[in-house]
């Protein structure tokens, strides 16, 4: 019975953290990852172009503004990765922290590269930029998240299934099973 209580407590805390993280329209993700995204993009673009940073707008060659809006920062993608990580039971805290760090760092690097590459495309050909941007937005963003999650499953040897494993445990110990 003590193990069941421990499992229920763990489930409660994991989902409580998810609820807390979602408050304020995912503000915590945008607060943290806006700075971690904008400055590296600005620095990388600065190696190749004359750049100026004003708030969340990078101005290239004194004429092309690139505004990094909330969608560019991808706060909801970080939240989705957190959901996948925290809705998976049976992971020790140290391993879970390493997994979340891996997921967030992977997405951050991919996102920075995405913005830099799309910025370079924008400077070369606006019509190609529109197509590339839409392709990345509608198709590749989903692929990035899936690839990061599957990489985590393989690297960290995850055996449980997000949500399903928790629901299965709760059902097993519920009055519905009787």
pLDDT of residue 170: 81
Distances (CA, A) of 84 to 14, 29, 81, 89, 157: 11, 15, 5, 10, 14
pLDDT of residue 54: 96
Tell me which DSSP letter residue 177 carries.
G
Helix, coil or strand: residue 73: helix
pLDDT of residue 6: 75
In a domain, residue 108? The reply is yes
In a domain, residue 59? The reply is no
pLDDT of residue 5: 66
pLDDT of residue 1: 58
> pLDDT in tens for each of the 178 residues of the chain?
566 667 788 889 999 999 998 988 889 999 999 999 999 999 999 999 999 999 999 999 989 999 999 999 999 999 999 999 999 998 999 999 999 999 999 999 999 999 999 999 999 888 899 999 999 988 899 999 999 999 999 999 999 999 888 888 888 877 776 6
Contacts of 75 (CB under 8 A, 6+ apart): 26, 29, 30, 33
In a domain, residue 112? The reply is yes
Query: Domain residues for 153?
Result: 2-45+73-177
In a domain, residue 133? The reply is yes
- Alpha-carbon distance of 14 to 138, in angstroms, equals 30
In a domain, residue 164? The reply is yes
In a domain, residue 160? The reply is yes
In a domain, residue 55? The reply is no
Instruction: For the full predicted model, state whether its pTM sits above 0.85.
Output: yes
Q: Look at the chain and report how many structural domains it folds into.
A: 1
Exposed / middle / buried, residue 93 (Cβ in 10 Å: 0-12, 13-18, 19+): exposed
Q: Do the strands 64-67 and 57-60 form a parallel or antiparallel pair, or are they unpaired?
A: antiparallel
In a domain, residue 57? The reply is no
């Amino acid at each position: 019975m003590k193990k069941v209580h421990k499992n229920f407590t763990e489930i409660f805390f994991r989902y409580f953290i998810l609820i807390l993280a979602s408050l304020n329209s995912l503000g915590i993700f945008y607060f943290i990852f806006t700075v971690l995204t904008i400055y590296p993009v600005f620095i990388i673009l600065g190696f190749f172009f004359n750049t100026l940073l004003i708030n969340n707008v990078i101005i290239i060659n004194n004429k092309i503004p690139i505004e990094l809006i909330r969608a560019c920062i991808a706060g909801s993608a970080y939240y989705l990765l957190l959901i996948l990580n925290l809705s998976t039971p049976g992971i020790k805290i140290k391993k879970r922290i390493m997994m979340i760090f891996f997921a967030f760092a992977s997405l951050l690097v991919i996102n920075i590269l995405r913005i830099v590459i799309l910025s370079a495309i924008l400077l070369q050909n606006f019509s190609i930029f529109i197509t590339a941007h839409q392709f990345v937005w509608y198709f590749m963003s989903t692929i990035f998240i899936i690839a990061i999650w599957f990489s985590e499953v393989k690297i960290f040897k995850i055996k449980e299934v997000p949500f399903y494993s928790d629901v299965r445990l709760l059902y097993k110990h519920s009055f519905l099973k009787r």
